[in-house]
Amino acid sequence: MPEDLAATLAGCAGGAIPAGIALMRLCLAGDEDTARAALAQAIAASEGPARERLRRVERLWRTTPEAFTLVKRVARTSEEEPAETDDVARWAKAFDTAAAISPEASVALYSLGRPDLLAAATDEVVGALRALGLVRPEGHVLDIGCGIGRFVAALAPHVAQVTGLDVSPRMLAEARRRAARLGNARLVQGNGRDFAGLAAAAFDLALAVDSFPYVVAAGPDVVAANMREIKRVLRPGGRLVILNYSYRGDQAADRAELADLAGRLGFRLLRAGERRFRHWDGALFDLERLP
Ligand SMILES: C[S@@+](CC[C@H](N)C(=O)[O-])C[C@H]1O[C@@H](n2cnc3c(N)ncnc32)[C@H](O)[C@@H]1O
């Protein structure tokens, strides 16, 4: 069995990798027959709770037969944009293309394009924000890289105002559709570097779910520009919650980089890479904007 498939299946059997993530990785790893055979082999070799976790992947695949093709198609969009455009623009175009294929998979590949799986993951994140005391009726929230607006729509009924910011026009069109009936939701197209049009000290919470990896991929100057702008638009004591800082697969490097940025730019790092989700393997970073 190829090493990456074996690692995914072992992680899933051990309970460290949720079923949706495991299936997404199986789909990304190689050809469909090899992935199916590896899953069957892992199920046959396991027992007890490990076997049940792997069977959950099997059931998910059976009820989502298009998963393999969809995951591959959406993943390919990030490889297809030519390198000559600048990195922010390149990601904006890639996400435009991905959103046209599957809005749900474009923001969370592990949803396998299924609204029910995406909603479960969204609810879990909102629950975590609530547990941290960050969802308040008087709160003003900025969702950076809001995508199709799943958090804008989920948070709007519970806070005073939500602003979704994104670089992809197609994502924003989807978000506008989802937020059409919400009187306290605003959607803004940004340039990925500055937050022009957003007032200083206007927000209590800045949220970035799976969007910082693209900021990081655009380079250190883009990261620093975004962090400075986040500091500007948050009120003193306001919080920045980043769910996944990068996709480098090096959590120690992510922690060190955010600790350094926090120290240099006037934040306190309260949580550094906590993993607390059942439906998703996102790492949570929580920073407080210092006065
Ligand atoms: C994987 S999607 C996640 C969307 C949303 N946060 C969610 O979890 O549903 C990443 C989003 O980040 C946006 N994005 C990428 N680079 C960005 C940047 N520099 N500034 C703002 N948004 C960006 C993309 O257009 C895309 O909508």
Output the residue whose Cα is nearest ligand 1's atom 20: 192
Chain segment 230-270, per-residue pLDDT in tens: 999 999 999 999 999 999 999 999 999 999 999 999 999 99
Cα–Cα distance measured from residue 217 to residue 255, given in angstroms and rounded to the nearest whole number: 16
Q: Is the CB of 171 under 6 A from ligand 1?
A: yes
Crossing angle for the helix pair 19-29 and 3-13, nearest 10 degrees?
170
CA of 2 to the centre of ligand 1 (A): 32
Domain 115-289 CATH (choose: 3.40.50.150, 3.40.718.10, 2.30.110.10, 3.90.660.10): 3.40.50.150
Output the residue whose Cα is nearest ligand 1's atom 1: 107
Give the range among 44-53, 191-200, 275-284 with minimum mean pLDDT.
275-284
**Cβ atoms < 10 Å from Cβ of 278:** 11
**Contacts for 52-55: CB closer than 8 Å, 24+ residues apart:** 53/12, 53/13, 53/15, 53/19, 54/9, 54/12, 54/13
User: In this predicted structure, what is the pLDDT of residue 122?
Assistant: 98
- Report the percent of the chain where pLDDT is more than 90: 92
* CA neighbor of 57 nearest in space, from 8, 103, 119, 105: 8
Provide mean pLDDT across the span 22-50: 94
Cα–Cα distance measured from residue 95 to residue 171, given in angstroms and rounded to the nearest whole number: 7
Cα dihedral 147/150/153/154 (nearest 10)? -140
Q: Is the CB of 99 under 6 A from ligand 1?
A: no
> In this structure, are residues 9 and 29 in contact, taking their beta carbons and an 8 Å threshold?
no
Candidate of 166, 193, 244 to mutate for ligand 1, largest count of ligand atoms within 8 Å of Cβ: 166
User: In this predicted structure, what is the pLDDT of residue 30?
Assistant: 81
Output the residue whose Cα is nearest ligand 1's atom 2: 107
pLDDT at 177 over 90: yes
Q: Which residues pair with 240 in a beta bridge?
A: 206, 287
Provide mean pLDDT across the span 16-43: 94
Q: Is the CB of 213 under 6 A from ligand 1?
A: no
Q: Is the CB of 164 under 6 A from ligand 1?
A: no
Q: Is the CB of 88 under 6 A from ligand 1?
A: yes
Give the tokens for residue 42.
């892992």
Chain centre distance of CA 258: 17
Instruction: For 161-189, give one letter per residue: b (16+ CB within 10 A) or e.
Output: bbbbbbbbebbbbbbeebbeebebbebee
User: In this predicted structure, what is the pLDDT of residue 185?
Assistant: 98
Q: Categorize the per-residue pLDDT at 178 as very low, low, confident or very high, splitting at 50, 70 and 90.
A: very high
Provide mean pLDDT across the span 67-75: 95
Q: Is the CB of 87 under 6 A from ligand 1?
A: no
Cα–Cα distance measured from residue 208 to residue 218, given in angstroms and rounded to the nearest whole number: 15
Q: Which helix (H) or strand (E) holds 289?
A: strand 284-289
Measured from the Cα of 150, ligand 1's closest atom is 9
Q: Categorize the per-residue pLDDT at 84 as very low, low, confident or very high, splitting at 50, 70 and 90.
A: low
Q: Is the CB of 243 under 6 A from ligand 1?
A: no
Crossing angle for the helix pair 48-63 and 19-29, nearest 10 degrees?
70
Confidence (pTM)? 0.95
Strands 185-189 and 161-166: parallel
Output the residue whose Cα is nearest ligand 1's atom 8: 209
pLDDT at 92 over 80: yes
